[in-house]
Amino acid sequence: METSHGDKGDMTTTNTDILNLIDGFIDQISKIRTVLKGVSVSALILAPLAIGLSLFLISHSSFFTILEKEDDFGFVLIILLGSVISISSVWIVAGLRQFRMINAWNKRYIKYLANKEEIHRNIASEFGFTEDSED
């Protein structure tokens, strides 16, 4: 099947548009990465504090006195503290996994940028482009 020269130009434009779209998407994810890293760090700081505070309250000498005197309040307090401990434990695990994932993605992203720059330099040197004519 024959294609005209115009079709090849359209195909090149489409390929360029797709590559620019992918580059823009990757750059946007890179910006979101910093927010996700902040969420991960906050999980690794706040969750242990919540667990520590809950364990302090449970181990406090007046905790069992409150449980004995206040039936409904004591029951709700046990449920709340148990929920805080379990949710915070899940939050720590999620924060660690997210932190590892972001670091792994960051390494691949740095490698991608280095490869992209190397390809740009190779194309520029092969076709005699100057650095100013890129992007």
Q: What is the pLDDT along the chain (135 residues), one digit of tens a residue?
A: 444 444 555 656 776 778 788 888 888 887 888 888 888 888 889 999 999 999 998 898 888 888 888 778 888 888 999 999 999 999 999 989 988 888 888 888 889 888 888 988 888 888 877 655 444
Closest CA to 97 of 30, 44, 50: 44
- Dmax of the chain from CA atoms? 89
Q: Which residues contact 10 (CB under 8 A, 6 or more apart)?
A: none
No. of H helices and E strands in the chain?
A: 3, 0
